[in-house]
Amino acid sequence: MDGSDPAEILREIQTLARASHVPVRFVSQRQIQQAQGSEAPQGVIAFADELAEADLSSLVGIGSGDGPSSAVAPAAQSGDSALEVPARTWPAFLLVVDGVTDPQNLGALFRSAECAGVSGILLARHRSAHVTPSVTKVAAGAVEHVGVALVPGIPAALEELKGLGVLTVGLDERGTEPVSSLRLGDGPIALVVGAEGRGLAHLSRQRCDVLARIPLHGAIESLNVSVAAAVAMFEVARQRSAGTPPSAKD
């Protein structure tokens, strides 16, 4: 924004942009406000190509001759319309988002997912938050590193994942097992989280291989969806990195 107070971060942005041959223009505050797409503008806007969709099977590791046990994720060929899935250590680790509509929650889910090593996120094409400027801001760059597949319906996607050999674990306060007692580090897995308030949809709950809960020890009966998902995702990450057997404790 023209007239911005000098700041080190602004100088760094300009240096990086010029090094990458990205043109930089100074514009008025009014132009920034008209183009911001965010409720909290910070005086800098970057314009980029839209994120391409990933294919569900590519997130699992199927489609180029590689199975779920492949060493790294298959990448899209140059010129493909599908998103190039970042190289990740297999087996696949997915997050399935069933009806989350709050952009803040979705952005937080993306950020935690990327930090926990999730290789792909599934979103319903309808009745769900998608990647918007607000989501991107909260995600703090994670949307650039995690493949996203938009699916017509979550229950059908869960059936497809089962057919691809992926264990589907739904997070539900009525789950039969504490998430820490499950064996989550051995094979391809998809964690399924539900919408704010209602949780998993009935049919999605039925399609999960197992329902797991996060034991709570306070007076409040539930966690925010992004917090609950983060707890479960980092339990998967812990088991995968440490090879620690699941705990029998509730």
Q: Do residues 93 and 36 share a domain?
A: no
Please state, for a pLDDT cut of 90, what percent of the chain lies above it.
48
- What CATH number is attached to the domain comprising 209? 3.40.1280.10
Residue 248 lies in a domain: no
Do residues 91 and 83 lie in contact, with contact meaning Cβ atoms separated by under 8 Å? no
Is 13 part of any domain? yes
Same domain, 13 and 133: no
| pLDDT per residue as tens digits for the range 151-183 | 999 999 999 999 999 999 999 988 888 999 998
- Say which residues have a Cβ less than 8 Å from residue 43's Cβ, sequence separation at least 6: 1, 4, 10, 32
Lowest mean pLDDT among 48-57, 90-99, 162-171: 48-57
Question: Taking 70 as the threshold, does the pLDDT of residue 87 lie above it?
Answer: no
pLDDT of residue 72: 35
Question: Same structural domain for residues 8 and 111?
Answer: no
Higher pLDDT, 28 or 74: 28
pTM (2 d.p.)? 0.78
Residue 249, in any domain of the structure: no
For 133, other C-beta atoms within 10 Å of its C-beta total 13
Output the pLDDT for position 39.
63
Residue 7: give the domain boundaries.
1-47
Whole-number Cα distances in Å, 90 to 4, 120, 205: 46, 12, 26
Q: Which residue has the tokens 């009525």?
A: 174
Instruction: Give Cα separations from 23 to 14, 31, 184 (angstroms).
Output: 9, 17, 46
Same domain, 6 and 65: no
Residue 77 pLDDT > 60: no
Among the listed residues 227, 212, 205, the one whose alpha carbon sits nearest the alpha carbon of residue 99: 205
Number of domains present in the structure of the chain: 2
CB–CB of 41/133 below 8 Å? no
Mean predicted lDDT score pLDDT of the chain = 82
Distance CA 22, CA 36 (A): 19
Task: Give the pLDDT confidence score for residue 51 in this predicted structure.
Answer: 82
Tokens of 213: 């809960």
pLDDT at 243: 64
Same domain flag for 38 and 99: no
Lowest model confidence (mean pLDDT) among 38-42, 223-227, 242-246: 242-246
| Distances in whole angstroms, Cα of residue 244 to Cα of each of 104, 238, 239 | 33, 8, 5
In which band, very low, low, confident or very high, does the pLDDT at 66 lie, cut at 50, 70 and 90? Answer: very low
Average pLDDT over residues 126-146: 89
Q: Mean of the pLDDT values across residues 185-205?
A: 91
**Do 6 and 89 fall into the same domain?**
no
Paired with 72 in beta bridges are: 89
